[in-house]
Chain A
Amino acid sequence: MATTNNHNFSKGTDLAVILVYIMMVAIGVLCIFMIEYNPNLNWSNSFLTAKTNFSKQIYFSIFCTFIAIFILLLDSKVFTALANLSYVGGILLMLATFVLGKNINGSKSWIPIAGGFNLQPAELCKIFTALFLAKYISKPDTDFKKLKSHLIAGAAIALPAILSIMQHEMGLALVYSSFIFAMYREGLPPLILVVLLSFAILVITTLLLEPTLLAIILTVIAGLFIFSMIKRFKRNKNKILLVLGIWVVCFGTVRFAVPYIFNHVFECYQSTRIYSMVGKEYDCSQNKKSTSSTGERRSKKPDDYNVKQSKIAIGSGGFWGRGFLKGTQTRGKYVPAQHTDFIFTSLGEAFGFVGTFIFLGLYLFFLFRLVRIAERQRSAFSRVYAYSVVGIFFFHIAVNISMTIGLFPVVGIPLPLISYGGSSLLTFTALLFILLRLDADRQMVLR
């Protein structure tokens, strides 16, 4: 089905990655088939007329094969040359969706193209952003130790992310945070990672604990800290100010920022999902967005139905799984959006822990292989791009699987190469094969 014999047109292409790619796409088609399976349907007929999702996915993968071959046939320099241009084009395309956009599943991020297919520019923009970031960091006059370059790179990443949020694609926006891998590798101070992690912990504890209690705890910690280090602080008064400053930020986050974000920035369902992760119920009547937009106070039921059914499906797989086409959750269509965001459930139910373990092993091998590829690049451009790809893939895999097993709030992002969807498959194919193309020329220095 997919790419064959790349030696003819590209020496040095990483065959292991291609092999894993083919396996993943095949597994994806298989999973979609399991979800759609119905003994009463005429398969050959529906395949030819492309009426079923699994047959559409096969057509998508054939199309992607051509794209992959096409990319491998290009010159590596094309990517450096077009990096900035493509980024601008991608942003324009995203802006265009506000005009041309079609509403699919509540997010207005799709542009209808010929043949009943739709394109999601935000997906493609990930590639362009990766290229742009690589281009920017690899510029000879960029010193990525400086804060200024951090801010420029951050802004370039934030722009498509903000546009995605405006299109109600929270998941896609979050993906842009995965560029932090590439930036970290290129010199972002680890302190930033530590601060971000601490901040995340603070937000989670805010959700878990009573705000007043947490404020007291924070104050006590600050007090103890100052008390125990009192001698050092006497020598350097600025440090006291630093501790106090941190205390103020933490306190502000707990008392004002987090409630504000949950009640004013997030949609009701988003707040609910996040709260349900920590086992709490969110009171939608507090949410200004849901009340103001509809004009009337409307509180929705907490929608942890997806996660519940998803956990049931995966959990009922047990150790060996229920067997191919034997999953009752899958056959009964109990898991919503199972062929897209929750596709991991069909795998978990049919093949059990053994299946999911092997599957995750394959993904892990794939990611480690990409890291190795990244590290063997001579040019910064290729390396930054490679780490961007690692980050994007990893983020998708980790978040998607975590949400199906109840470790992360439900955000709508697909499982790379597995989930049904042409845009997603095309994006990941292009992302990956551009990397393979660059890797084939790893001895070259690209700028």
Chain B
Amino acid sequence: MYNSNRGRIIQIIIGVIFTLIILQLVSLQIFSSKYVLAANNNAIFRKIIYPDRGIIFDRKKRALLENTISYDLVVIPNEAKGVDTATLCAILKINKEEYSKRMVEVIIKNSRVKLGVFEPFLSSEVYAQITENLYRFPGFSLSERSIRNYPYNTAAHVLGYVAEVDVNFLKKHDAEGYEMGDYAGMTGLEKQYESILMGQRGVKRFLRDNKGKIQGPFEKGEFDTTAIAGRNLYTSMDVEVQQLAENLLQHKIGSVVAINPKTGSIIAMASSPGYNPNLLTGNQRRKTIGRLLTDTARPIYNRAIKGQYPPGSTFKPLGALIALDEGLITPSFGYNCFGLYTACGDPRKCEHHNAGHASNLQLALANSCNSYFLQVFRMAIDNPKYHNAKLGYLKWKEYMNSFGLGRKLGIDLPSENRANIPDTAQYNKDFGGAKYWNSCFMLTLGIGQDRMTATPLQLANTMAFIANDGYYYTPHFVDSVEEEDEFDKELLLKYRTKQEVTKIPKEYYDVIKEGMHDVTVIGTAAFIKVPGHEFCAKTGTAQNPHGKNHSMFVCFAPKDNPKIAVAVVVENAGFGSTWAGPIAGLIMEKYLNDTLTKESKTKVDYLANVDLMPANIKEWYIRNNKTDMLIPLNYNNDELSEIWDMEMLSETAPIKLDIDTLNKMDTFQKNKLPASPIPSKQKMKESILNPIQKKKKTNSQ
């Protein structure tokens, strides 16, 4: 048969084509992984099951925050046919154009066949109306989501908030399995303990067809994971003390920190101005966050851990401790102060003229004698043991750091500020080299001024270690975690470890405590009483470049078995004893006695309404047409309020006491001017203030 070899050729052609097909199959099925991904993207619908976030409790197991259910109105655009738009628009209070606009947005975001959010966070009455009429809105449904709720409207700065993660967050937390649309703690404890609070998300996989319809579980749920609820946190905070602190700080700029010195647990931490944390959940969030971010008073800023203030006279007990420990002075060391400190040339004013007001340490503390502590500071720097001022200064700085100043304490909140204890390098630069400066150049460090700053938290912590005679626990909120595991224990270990400050004999602490006790008996804080308890305190009136002096107060109580250490700062308010002192006294009373006397309650009412907002901040609101922001976000009272300058001291701005400011300070006191103009409304209440003012006459600063 002719041409029979052509059968072979036909077979070869067939073979070649089949080989080509098989090669393509090898490339598709063996060497390309993208098709599996593409198939999974197509067909597997992952539904994330969000667990409830953990709850944060106070010391009496009251929930500072909890979870509540909110509803979103969601829609599948393709199925939204024949919707009674008029009714829907009426319920949502939108017009038809807005309806179409939102529909288009949903389609752009999620396509026509998938669920998209039409209106998030329905209010309860809108929710009720929609459920009733849902049958009129085909394609629409309600979807549940868990949001935070703060039953006590308090501690916004401490608790922080949760928010939807953004691209940056996802980049940073690459390996932690977050996805677009997740919520995560962004500030405060919510952020710090995110891993514990969030729990473990569950994932359910469903099979989805080409129309986006769910066909059933994927592989019978073999790859599904169940959601594990977040664990609860137990803190030592006290809701009532916290609320009291926030209440007292209304219409003021400032901060309150109260620590239990025995454990380092924080009882209350308030920063003013603040905001009601409930305003950052649900549908109010968008509106509120804008206002909070544009406010010149920076209500989001937690002054308790970020605000840097010159400690002023509240520093004096620490200066004394150093000198005692270094053996430079004894408790009986006296300084003959006649109202001026002249040893460094320029005379520095002291508040007292009477001879013998600084004849020993205890008295000097009680009277807060500037000359005495300037002298003590110079002795520490010029300590012959260290040969020169520079080495002396370094030793002094070492003490400061061991007292927890000029460094981060390590509280369990994000972005704590270390404030500032200046380095010698800074002075070398300022004065042109190490050999050109001596103790006179930074003299006012001795009374907590110059470039020294501290946060309210650090100040409270200094009280804690004095109360404990030389040790403290790193201040923290969270005492324990529900179902604590090894990892949590390790996390909390540093809060359960005693931090020893430089070994200083107990008898020196006793002297300091006696001096600070005298402050509350015969000294600058003698008019402040905590019913039923003896306490130790130190007032401070810190000069600063931003206007009026900061009113400062540090204390601990009871004297013999300290249970609470408090630091209070009221910015640009005047004397420590006038504003910060009474606030601290009320905090201690509330915590120790669990209640306030009738008289104290009246004081609370008065203090809460005093407007100490710096004028420049008020001007800012008027200038920028934002007078609506004058209404505080903390509480819904109608009183015209206050705002303050949020700019904290910059580390580089040298603060020097000069004779002029000292003079001004003097005049201030002599005239017995109230620290702040009191609005007329408040004058009516002044009678209440009388006992305070009377005392002030005898115990200035």
Minimum CB–CB distance from B301 to chain A (whole Å) comes to 51
Contact B14 A331 (CB under 8 A): no
9-residue interface stretch from B137-145, B209-217, B512-520, B651-659: B209-217
Docked complex Cα distance between A315 and B40 (Å): 12
* CB within 8 Å of B: which A384-417 residues: 387, 390, 394, 398, 401-402, 405-407
Contact B17 A398 (CB under 8 A): yes
B17's nearest neighbour on chain A, judged by CB, is A398
Contact A315 B36 (CB under 8 A): yes
C-beta contact mask, B1-40 vs A, less than 8 Å → 1, else 0? Answer: 0111011001100110110111011101110101110111
Are A364 and B15 CB-contacts (below 8 A) given A316-B38, A331-B209? yes
* CB within 8 Å of B: which A278-330 residues: 309, 311-319, 326, 328-329
- Residues on A with C-beta less than 8 A from B485 are none
B21's nearest neighbour on chain A, judged by CB, is A401
Is A266 part of the binding interface, using a Cβ–Cβ cutoff of 8 Å?
A: no
Contact B28 A315 (CB under 8 A): yes
Docked complex Cα distance between A402 and B7 (Å): 23
Minimum CB–CB distance from A406 to chain B (whole Å) comes to 7
A348's nearest neighbour on chain B, judged by CB, is B29
Candidates A311, A332, A401, A406; contact of B42 at CB < 8 Å: A332
Contact B22 A360 (CB under 8 A): yes
- Residues on A with C-beta less than 8 A from B17 are 394, 398
Minimum CB–CB distance from A408 to chain B (whole Å) comes to 10
Candidates A309, A326, A374; contact of B7 at CB < 8 Å: A374
Candidates A184, A319, A387, A406; contact of B24 at CB < 8 Å: A406
B38's nearest neighbour on chain A, judged by CB, is A312
Is A33 part of the binding interface, using a Cβ–Cβ cutoff of 8 Å?
A: no
Docked complex Cα distance between A402 and B28 (Å): 12
Contact A316 B39 (CB under 8 A): yes
- Residues on B with C-beta less than 8 A from A184 are 6, 10
- Residues on B with C-beta less than 8 A from A390 are 10, 14
- Residues on B with C-beta less than 8 A from A334 are 42-43, 209-210
Contact A368 B210 (CB under 8 A): no
- Residues on A with C-beta less than 8 A from B30 are 318-319, 353
Are A329 and B43 CB-contacts (below 8 A) given A184-B10, A318-B30? yes
Contact A312 B10 (CB under 8 A): no
Is B219 part of the binding interface, using a Cβ–Cβ cutoff of 8 Å?
A: yes
Docked complex Cα distance between A367 and B44 (Å): 39
Candidates B2, B3, B11, B42; contact of A329 at CB < 8 Å: B42
- Residues on B with C-beta less than 8 A from A398 are 17-18, 21
Contact A368 B11 (CB under 8 A): yes
Minimum CB–CB distance from B580 to chain A (whole Å) comes to 67
B220's nearest neighbour on chain A, judged by CB, is A39
Candidates A181, A314, A375, A402; contact of B4 at CB < 8 Å: A375
Docked complex Cα distance between A332 and B213 (Å): 9
Contact A316 B36 (CB under 8 A): yes
Docked complex Cα distance between A313 and B208 (Å): 15
Are A407 and B24 CB-contacts (below 8 A) given A333-B210, A364-B18, A368-B14? yes
- Residues on A with C-beta less than 8 A from B665 are none
A398's nearest neighbour on chain B, judged by CB, is B17
- Residues on A with C-beta less than 8 A from B434 are none
Contact A356 B7 (CB under 8 A): no
Contact A328 B25 (CB under 8 A): no
Is B207 part of the binding interface, using a Cβ–Cβ cutoff of 8 Å?
A: yes
- Residues on B with C-beta less than 8 A from A313 are 35, 39
Contact B20 A407 (CB under 8 A): yes
- Residues on A with C-beta less than 8 A from B3 are 185-187
Minimum CB–CB distance from A108 to chain B (whole Å) comes to 28
Q: How many residues of B contact A (CB 8 A)?
A: 38
Is A352 part of the binding interface, using a Cβ–Cβ cutoff of 8 Å?
A: yes
Q: Is the interface of B mostly helix, strand, loop or mixed?
A: helix
Candidates B11, B21, B210; contact of A402 at CB < 8 Å: B21
* CB within 8 Å of B: which A357-371 residues: 357, 360, 363-364, 367-368, 371
Contact B219 A317 (CB under 8 A): no
Minimum CB–CB distance from A324 to chain B (whole Å) comes to 13
B212's nearest neighbour on chain A, judged by CB, is A332
- Residues on A with C-beta less than 8 A from B20 are 402, 407
Minimum CB–CB distance from A317 to chain B (whole Å) comes to 6
- Residues on A with C-beta less than 8 A from B29 are 314-315, 317-319, 348, 352-353, 356
B35's nearest neighbour on chain A, judged by CB, is A315
Contact A318 B36 (CB under 8 A): yes
Minimum CB–CB distance from B373 to chain A (whole Å) comes to 78
Minimum CB–CB distance from B281 to chain A (whole Å) comes to 38
Docked complex Cα distance between A402 and B34 (Å): 20
Contact B34 A315 (CB under 8 A): yes
Docked complex Cα distance between A374 and B18 (Å): 20
- Residues on A with C-beta less than 8 A from B14 are 364, 367-368, 371, 390, 394
Contact A357 B22 (CB under 8 A): yes
- Residues on B with C-beta less than 8 A from A319 are 29-30
B24's nearest neighbour on chain A, judged by CB, is A405
Contact A328 B35 (CB under 8 A): no
- Residues on A with C-beta less than 8 A from B39 are 312-313, 315-316, 328-329, 349
Contact B210 A312 (CB under 8 A): no
Contact B21 A311 (CB under 8 A): no
Minimum CB–CB distance from B349 to chain A (whole Å) comes to 84
- Residues on B with C-beta less than 8 A from A185 are 3, 6-7, 10
Contact B25 A353 (CB under 8 A): yes
Contact A328 B207 (CB under 8 A): yes
Minimum CB–CB distance from A223 to chain B (whole Å) comes to 33
Docked complex Cα distance between A309 and B6 (Å): 39
Minimum CB–CB distance from B210 to chain A (whole Å) comes to 5
Docked complex Cα distance between A187 and B5 (Å): 11
- Residues on B with C-beta less than 8 A from A315 are 28-29, 32, 34-36, 38-39
Contact A405 B42 (CB under 8 A): no
Candidates B22, B42, B216; contact of A312 at CB < 8 Å: B42
Are A328 and B21 CB-contacts (below 8 A) given A312-B35, A387-B10? no
- Residues on B with C-beta less than 8 A from A405 are 21, 24-25, 28
A368's nearest neighbour on chain B, judged by CB, is B11
Docked complex Cα distance between A319 and B26 (Å): 9
Contact A328 B15 (CB under 8 A): no
Contact A328 B42 (CB under 8 A): yes
Docked complex Cα distance between A312 and B33 (Å): 10
- Residues on B with C-beta less than 8 A from A317 are 29
Docked complex Cα distance between A356 and B208 (Å): 25
- Residues on A with C-beta less than 8 A from B32 are 315
Are A332 and B28 CB-contacts (below 8 A) given A318-B36, A394-B14? no
Docked complex Cα distance between A318 and B26 (Å): 9
- Residues on A with C-beta less than 8 A from B24 are 402, 405-407
Docked complex Cα distance between A360 and B42 (Å): 28
- Residues on A with C-beta less than 8 A from B36 are 315-316, 318
Minimum CB–CB distance from B219 to chain A (whole Å) comes to 7
Minimum CB–CB distance from B670 to chain A (whole Å) comes to 86
Minimum CB–CB distance from B44 to chain A (whole Å) comes to 6
Are A360 and B18 CB-contacts (below 8 A) given A311-B28, A319-B29, A334-B42? yes
Q: Which 7 A-B pairs have the closest CB atoms?
A: A315-B35, A328-B43, A316-B39, A353-B29, A332-B43, A332-B209, A315-B28
Besides the known contacts A368-B11, A398-B18, 6 further A-B residue pairs in the complex with CB atoms under 8 A apart: A187-B2, A332-B209, A352-B29, A356-B29, A405-B24, A405-B25
Cβ contacts A to B, 29 pairs, < 8 Å: A39-B216, A186-B3, A309-B42, A312-B35, A312-B42, A313-B39, A314-B28, A315-B32, A315-B35, A318-B36, A319-B30, A328-B44, A329-B39, A332-B43, A332-B209, A348-B28, A360-B25, A363-B18, A368-B14, A371-B7, A371-B10, A375-B4, A390-B14, A394-B17, A401-B21, A402-B24, A405-B24, A407-B20, A407-B21
Q: Which residues of A contact B (CB under 8 A)?
A: 38-39, 181, 184-187, 309, 311-319, 326, 328-329, 331-334, 348-349, 352-353, 356-357, 360, 363-364, 367-368, 371, 374-375, 387, 390, 394, 398, 401-402, 405-407
Q: Which residues of B contact A (CB under 8 A)?
A: 2-4, 6-7, 10-11, 14-15, 17-18, 20-22, 24-26, 28-30, 32, 34-36, 38-40, 42-44, 207-210, 215-216, 218-219
